[in-house]
Amino acid sequence: MADSNGPERTRQCPTLLNCIVPIHLKGPLTYRWPFDVPVPKRGTRLLLPLGPRRITGIMWGLEKEFPDEKRLKDVIEVMDQRPLIPEGLLDFIGWASSYYYYPLGPAISEALPAGFLSATASGLEQTLAKGIGPGKSRMNIPDWESLHIKSLSPEQEEALCRISTALSAATFSPILLFGITGSGKTEVYLRAVQRCLEMNKSALILVPEISMTGQIAGWFRARFGDGLSLLHSGLTRQQKRDQWWKIRTGESRIVVGARSAIFAPLSDIGLIIVDEEHDSSYKQEEKFRYNARDLALVRGRMEGATVILGSGTPSVASYHNALIGKYQLIEMKNRVGEGRLPLVDIVDRRKGAGGQKSRKKAPRAQEVEWLSEPLRKAIKDTLDRGRQVLLFLNRRGFATYVFCPECGHVFKCSSCDVVLAWHRKNKALIRKEDLEKFKSPGLLCCHYCGQTYPALPACEKCGGQAVKASGFGTEKVAQEFLDYFPGTTVARIDRDTVSKRKKLEGLLKAFRKGEIDCLVGTQMITKGHDFPNLSLVGVLWPDLALNVPEYFSAERTFQLVSQVAGRAGRSSVPGRVVIQTFMPDHYSMLFATRHDFPGFFKTETLLRKRLGYPPFGRIINIRFSGTKKAAVEQASRQVYSFAAKRKDRETEILGPVQSPKARIKSRYRYQLLLKGSMNAVRRLCSEIDRTLETLVPSNVRVEMDVDPLNFM
């Protein structure tokens, strides 16, 4: 029954509403409108009956057809006085849902703060309007150290002029801002947002990692004061609600956030900035598998906004689109001020002729596998001059795997077909005295499901007691750094040590002030950070990114190496980069040492064009998973048989095969790739999607991954 204060029912009204509910359905559900008042506007929340329960749905539109009314149920209650979700945002989410083959109800639910579609969330507007109150839930965006830019370089002036022209046109204008690391892109962003605000428009700034939001938001707040909101998945439930409501009501006209901020309820968007547009973190890898970089272009087109894709190492696809005229290309080829690109040296770690290990061995440097003699000397020289060091290794933990030397057994996760990594102590700031006090053996951890096991146990296969660990991660590098360079202070930045944003920002500020001698970390430290006293960057094992079965592995390696190398030499302090690799002749390494993106692009696109990989073709990965291997395999073969009969000459089907990670979280995994022209691939995928219920049993989950960036 409706609330006693609600509108009165009338059984004569034949009006039917299509409503979206947050469950996995192909389309809307139809309900009768039983009240004698006008129907609510699109985007209004409604309380609806669904079987024996009540559920919150979104008013999507009127149903023009009249199905059997006897089977229809009445809307119970209108939950909002006005639409909660702006109509433009609804259209945008609807487009994304269709493109990524993800049900519309869950798509809307994931785009909103948690609890907005709860059946008990009546009176939400009044609750949000009151704010979240004082205490720990209150958002505090501290000012970051000001950039102190008095005048722009000629390249910055030119870039800002062209962006301002695009903003004034008030039409969809995609721009690729290709500025090398240290060329001053951030200042261009700040001034472009200023122009946008002067035009009474709002601005959205996306960054790839939550770890970058604090610094970027701090810079914007220092420049523009209040009126800025922060959106990302790391906020508390109440913080996200509060920030979302400030945006929805127009109190905040600038939004900074990670990929989920693409669904911010901004109105009158004039500018969207996607910083580090090449970064794979913009792609969500579970459930709603959208790419926020690509959706930024779609939202910009819908809003008639200027969209800036900024990067020092653009994605191959974006640079290709700029060269063929789909995007306007703006280049910034020089660093601002006294900064110069660092010198880059490659250390050949191969054992063969010419390799590092074939030469005379330094007696102590060979005791650790991550430290070559050239890098050891470079670190010592850097520290002696009072400068700072950054060491990049894209692998967490102390050791990469644990094994029994007696029988060869390797310890693996019981729920996943992956080896366990050894973690000893998740401490971000490390000193020698901390290590001497620490005696715990730590844990064996699965990086996929999160399960933990006792560290260095007896062998579960033969009972052997001499279990050993091999390989190295950021934790081991940080600890052994103190053995080789006593009296120093080391900080480690990875997912294990800086789960909280405040802790990460504190470490970055301490390093920027010179309170930390060496920073060891994963890809979290490779982009967007500016450290004036940093003069040496060591890239310990870039080969990791190359040795994965993905067509863009060379692109990812080039970007990682180039981005982390770009942290050095950004001020008057000369920069140097030392890259340790077993693949020194690979073209991604060679072009990275020369800071030669055009050369890398030319080589990479020749290979991709020959094989029909993006941007010269499109890929959709159909993923199958379930707890019974035979059922998953059979389902994948059923879909293959269906697709093989309907594909045309423009489409290639690869598979079905087991995923490289064959079992994760006790679910067996298979995949089937559709490759070809965009129209042909989507046409075939749509046919498959329409018939999935008849092809696949209910105990097998099927997910469409459009434009995938992870094949593991």
Whole-angstrom Cα distance, residue 635 to residue 128? 46
Residue 222 tokens, joined: 């220092």
Q: Domain check: are 252 and 349 in the same one?
A: no
pLDDT for 458: 83
Judged against a pLDDT cut of 80, whether residue 527 lies above it is answered with no
For residue 148, tell me if it sits in a domain: no
pLDDT band at 359 (very low <50, low <70, confident <90, very high): very low
Residue 127 tokens, joined: 């609750």
Q: Domain check: are 313 and 370 in the same one?
A: no
Task: Report, as an integer, the average pLDDT of 186-213.
Answer: 93
Which residue has better confidence, 65 or 447? 447
Whole-angstrom Cα distance, residue 135 to residue 123? 23
pLDDT band at 4 (very low <50, low <70, confident <90, very high): very low
Judged against a pLDDT cut of 70, whether residue 135 lies above it is answered with no
Judged against a pLDDT cut of 90, whether residue 36 lies above it is answered with no
For residue 4, tell me if it sits in a domain: no
CATH code of the domain containing 163: 3.40.50.300
Select from 73, 95, 129 the last residue of a domain: 129
User: What is the overall mean pLDDT for the chain?
Assistant: 86
Annotate 331-396 with DSSP letters as a single string: EE-S-STT--PPEEEEEE--SSTTSGGGSPPPTTGGGSTT--HHHHHHHHHHHHTT-EEEEE-S--
Q: Which of 177-181, 490-494, 599-603 has the lowest mean pLDDT?
A: 490-494
Q: Is 362 exposed, middle or buried (0-12, 13-18, 19+ CB in 10 A)?
A: middle
Task: Report, as an integer, the average pLDDT of 698-706.
Answer: 96
Task: Report, as an integer, the average pLDDT of 339-355.
Answer: 76
Of residues 335, 370, 311, 346, the one with CA closest to residue 593 = 346
530 within 8 A of 569, measured Cβ to Cβ: no
How far lies 460's CA from each of 384, 398, 413, 443, 468, in Å?
A: 48, 21, 12, 16, 13
For residue 176, tell me if it sits in a domain: yes
pLDDT band at 571 (very low <50, low <70, confident <90, very high): low
pLDDT for 68: 66
Domain span at 414: 400-427+442-471
pLDDT band at 406 (very low <50, low <70, confident <90, very high): confident
Of residues 41, 43, 33, the one with CA closest to residue 6 = 33
Judged against a pLDDT cut of 80, whether residue 668 lies above it is answered with yes
Task: Report, as an integer, the average pLDDT of 155-171.
Answer: 96
Q: What is the 8-class DSSP label of residue 410? A: B
Annotate 554-592 with DSSP letters as a single string: HHHHHHHHHHHHTTSS-SSS--EEEEEES-TTSHHHHHH
Q: Domain check: are 518 and 382 in the same one?
A: yes
Q: Domain check: are 310 and 355 in the same one?
A: no
pLDDT for 71: 79
452 within 8 A of 443, measured Cβ to Cβ: yes
pTM of the model: 0.90
Judged against a pLDDT cut of 90, whether residue 566 lies above it is answered with no
Q: Domain check: are 196 and 288 in the same one?
A: yes
pLDDT digits (tens, 9 = 90+) for 290-329: 999 999 999 999 999 999 999 999 999 999 999 999 999 9
Select from 548, 580, 605 the last residue of a domain: 605
Residue 530 tokens, joined: 């500016």
For residue 205, tell me if it sits in a domain: yes
186 within 8 A of 309, measured Cβ to Cβ: no
Which residue has better confidence, 263 or 131? 263
Beta-carbon-side half-sphere exposure of residue 79 (alpha carbons within 13 Å): 27
pLDDT for 360: 42
Q: Domain check: are 496 and 593 in the same one?
A: yes
The vertex-388 CA angle with 385 and 394, nearest 5°, equals 145
Judged against a pLDDT cut of 90, whether residue 157 lies above it is answered with yes
pLDDT for 1: 38
pLDDT over 70 percentage in the chain: 87
pLDDT band at 363 (very low <50, low <70, confident <90, very high): very low
Q: Domain check: are 158 and 79 in the same one?
A: no
Which residue has better confidence, 550 or 174? 174
Q: Domain check: are 266 and 377 in the same one?
A: no
Whole-angstrom Cα distance, residue 69 to residue 12? 12
How far lies 649's CA from each of 62, 652, 655, in Å?
A: 41, 8, 17
Instruction: Give me the residues paired with residue 652 across strands.
Output: 675
Task: Report, as an integer, the average pLDDT of 248-269.
Answer: 95
How far lies 433's CA from each of 376, 415, 483, 503, in Å?
A: 22, 37, 11, 21
Q: Domain check: are 115 and 229 in the same one?
A: no
Per residue in 310-343, is it b (16+ CB within 10 Å) or e — as a string? bbbbbbbbbbbbbeeeebbbbebebbbeebbbbe
Which residue has better confidence, 441 or 18? 18
pLDDT for 534: 86
For residue 712, tell me if it sits in a domain: no
Task: Report, as an integer, the average pLDDT of 673-699.
Answer: 94
Task: Report, as an integer, the average pLDDT of 495-516.
Answer: 77
pLDDT for 450: 85
Whole-angstrom Cα distance, residue 30 to residue 27? 10
For residue 640, tell me if it sits in a domain: yes
Task: Report, as an integer, the average pLDDT of 572-588.
Answer: 89
Judged against a pLDDT cut of 80, whether residue 191 lies above it is answered with yes
At residue 646, φ and ψ (nearest 5 deg) are -115, -5
For residue 432, tell me if it sits in a domain: no
Q: Is 85 exposed, middle or buried (0-12, 13-18, 19+ CB in 10 A)?
A: buried
Those residues whose C-beta lies under 8 Å from the C-beta of residue 297, and which sit 6 or more positions away, are 174, 307, 309
Instruction: Give me the residues paired with residue 581 across strands.
Output: 348
Q: Domain check: are 274 and 320 in the same one?
A: yes
Number of domains in the chain: 5
pLDDT band at 118 (very low <50, low <70, confident <90, very high): confident
CATH code of the domain containing 21: 3.40.1440.60
pLDDT for 703: 96
For residue 141, tell me if it sits in a domain: no
pLDDT over 90 percentage in the chain: 55
Q: Domain check: are 178 and 320 in the same one?
A: yes
Q: Domain check: are 455 and 506 in the same one?
A: no
Whole-angstrom Cα distance, residue 241 to residue 84? 12
